[in-house]
Structure 1
């Protein structure tokens, strides 16, 4: 009965979330269904298991949600994201329209801009560029997804994406875990994705297929759509309802000024991770007043938070006169972090209740016993949970909450590098999360004015298949050569 309860709770969560119900309501309800079938105390699981684990997630990662959303909003309102996208368009032109969109998305998201902010800026640019180049509109979502939602989210060393931060407290790693493997994975994702999109463009031209429907995009309607908002906030770190709030600069900065905050994010993150934090005396963290923790458990979050904070200060200093209403922009950025953070935390609370049930031991045993070794079983676990929740961050946290200590024991006994497990877990979370019910997929299709029927196959190829190929390569290389 306990195992049946877990499946029923998960089915309830998936079915109603797909229909647009709030995760804030569904997650505790589904957790109580699972606990009820196991004969466990419901109120105790709600207040002591669900809420304590959700609160722990907020305590660990809300600074990154807050600073990331704030940075993305300020980059948008200052016109910096648009300037960078326009510069890529100017330099690469119509003949390399797909590459221009992909690289523009990659630059801004690797620099710390939320992919949802990138969606709303890149879609109009892509529409104008694809129309001029005669490339089918249906390829727009896949091109944007390749640049924003694949290698810069899960594979590039040092990426400030929340998915790359989540394994750090579990494995004691940094944002630059397994950098060589991350770069190889990034090249595989980018290379395969560009091959597929170039192939699709050639086939379309051979058939005489042009841009097609030239209906202007209505991004404001998408931002205000409550169904899309509910789906989006449980999958990534920015509340789409805040896109229209704040005030946009009438004219963006020079491209160097626009790009400098992105450079600051990467540079400060690297310096903090590799030079500053390792030299600090943080023995005081062992005291109870600081949670009796260690630098390895908090250092990664400190590095990313410091990098984002430095970038925000740089952005405001350089664009102070260009931001028409700094306070309203900052308010909108801060508000954009709240609902996504609590939605993902609710998914984490649900996973914590399930992991605490006696029947979950069967699931744990099955996962750890998957043939191929711990890297394969870790990849399977993160893939499955990201697919079921439709959230890379939610699925990854649930997997590591339930299985992270077991994998660390395996690493201690076998000599497996935690950095390798970090990279496998992050890439694994960014594969099957891009199923049709994923909030980012739903939002991207709506922003581009397309549908699942027209564009989803191409999204699968560039966001799912490319990531699976990269994941397989990392597992093979990591198993034979080790982490590097």
Structure 2
């Protein structure tokens, strides 16, 4: 009875967290409040859970992943302020032309986000480019958000091997994996998402042309409500939209080769560090107490991505030093843009740690681990549910892995499942049902596009949720039959 009562308290606290977060309350306040409510209802010591459980988990996440948030946000801001993202967008516009507006938008979004540019930086640059293409091609503007989502928020975030997205980094300390976990399955999943998404968007394009629906002349796009965007965005991605306009635009635009070079450095550097360099160096000293008694498997992924981003940032500055209007201000804005997002996710992680420590969570754990289909199916369901409830891929996945990661790893060992397969399933699961209407990236994208949930969300569901779930099923089936590859 006590466990059941505690479970009811956990559900009530989660409902409070979701309800108030959707209405603009800061997760920095809501997460500890909801956690302490659940602890109080469960009859647990409230203050001990706040300072020892909540803060310990939040601090651990900060210590593990702040380098990636910091370097990722800095890289994205410098790419934007150097004019590099704009040059890439303009090149894609000319290369593909209005007749292939959807494909041009998807390819451009995929290129910049797989190269390490923050999702929200990409939104603010890609939308004006895509809007011109859609207008020239006379495509309905309501398809714009889903088209951008396909290129920026699906396969480059969760499936393509080596992606520097924070979601792809989170499972690494839990499973001892790298960003290139299960590369073959990741590529197959990416193909499924791209093919399904493009099929759906082209289907919608043909349907619109048959009905005579074109771009039309809409009222001027309303200014973006930056307060709303910031409230919803900071728990779902790694860049604070408040810093978008800080810094300064480039004095002159770089060439396409100069613009693309830092993106290639991120991808190549990530591969070289994780596959060629780190496995060959002697890091036995990490087992010493002064270094936390850790291992290379626990830090390799974060080290590799961090070095790749750092090298790309140095190259970006060197190649564009004369183009930055105010380099120091741009760098400051990029660094500042990392702070609120990581602290917001840390709060969600702390909340999840408290919930996992309560007696009532034993019922949830027993149910999840007892689901049919094995650990892969159970992990997929747990991560999808938590990502959906929190509206955050990174927050939901971290909560799931903090609470159940060791259980899934033990099950994987018992079932002879490669941890790399767990990694890929966890990342892809976090990027499926997280795109519900309250997701910060969805709210931001619709706001920047000047669209509404009623007009555009249905297509986002198809390319961002259904396509991702289809790819996840394919990976689980292939992984169950053939293992990780």
1:41 corresponds to which of 30, 38, 45: 45
Q: Does residue 374 of the first structure (1) align with residue 378 of the second (2)?
A: no
Find the counterpart in structure 1 of residue 140 from structure 2.
136
Find the counterpart in structure 1 of residue 181 from structure 2.
177
Q: Does residue 103 of the first structure (1) align with residue 107 of the second (2)?
A: yes
Q: Does residue 15 of the first structure (1) align with residue 19 of the second (2)?
A: yes
Q: Deviations over 1:291-349 (max 9, x none)?
A: 00000000000000001001000100000000010000000000000000000010000
Find the counterpart in structure 2 of residue 311 from structure 1.
312
Find the counterpart in structure 1 of residue 339 from structure 2.
338
Find the counterpart in structure 1 of residue 171 from structure 2.
167
Find the counterpart in structure 2 of residue 363 from structure 1.
364
Structure 2 unaligned spans of 5+: none
| Rounded Cα–Cα distance in structure 2 between residues aligned with 1:369 and 1:89 | 51
User: 1:347-362 alignment to 2 at 5 Å?
Assistant: 347-362=348-363
| Rounded Cα–Cα distance in structure 2 between residues aligned with 1:300 and 1:459 | 31
| Rounded Cα–Cα distance in structure 1 between residues aligned with 2:369 and 2:121 | 38
Structure 1 residue 215: Cα displacement: 4.1
| Rounded Cα–Cα distance in structure 1 between residues aligned with 2:383 and 2:7 | 19
Q: Does residue 435 of the first structure (1) align with residue 436 of the second (2)?
A: yes
1:94 corresponds to which of 91, 98, 111: 98
Structure 1 residue 426: Cα displacement: 0.2
Tell me the C-alpha RMSD between the 2 structures: 0.8
Structure 1 residue 251: Cα displacement: 2.7
User: 1:3-402 alignment to 2 at 5 Å?
Assistant: 3-217=7-221, 221-222=223-224, 225-402=226-403
Structure 1 residue 195: Cα displacement: 0.2
Q: Structure 1 stretches (4+) deviating beyond 2 angstroms?
A: 212-218
| Rounded Cα–Cα distance in structure 1 between residues aligned with 2:146 and 2:9 | 37
| Rounded Cα–Cα distance in structure 1 between residues aligned with 2:152 and 2:219 | 24
TM-score, normalised on structure 1?
Answer: 0.99
Structure 1 residue 408: Cα displacement: 1.0
Structure 1 residue 225: Cα displacement: 2.0
| Rounded Cα–Cα distance in structure 2 between residues aligned with 1:63 and 1:217 | 37
| Rounded Cα–Cα distance in structure 2 between residues aligned with 1:250 and 1:370 | 58
User: 1:462-481 alignment to 2 at 5 Å?
Assistant: 462-481=463-482
Contact 1:124 1:217 in 2 (8 A): no
Q: Deviations over 1:257-311 (max 9, x none)?
A: 0000000000000000011000110000001110000000000000000010010
Structure 1 residue 60: Cα displacement: 0.2
TM-score, normalised on structure 2?
Answer: 0.98
> How many equivalent pairs are there?
481
Structure 1 residue 252: Cα displacement: 1.6
Structure 1 residue 414: Cα displacement: 1.8
| Rounded Cα–Cα distance in structure 2 between residues aligned with 1:174 and 1:55 | 22
Q: 1:20 to 1:164 in 2, by over 3 A?
A: same
Structure 1 residue 217: Cα displacement: 4.3
Structure 1 residue 212: Cα displacement: 2.4
Structure 1 unaligned spans of 5+: none
3-state SS of 2:338 partner: helix
3-state SS of 2:177 partner: coil
Structure 1 residue 228: Cα displacement: 1.6
Q: Does residue 409 of the first structure (1) align with residue 405 of the second (2)?
A: no
Structure 1 residue 415: Cα displacement: 1.2
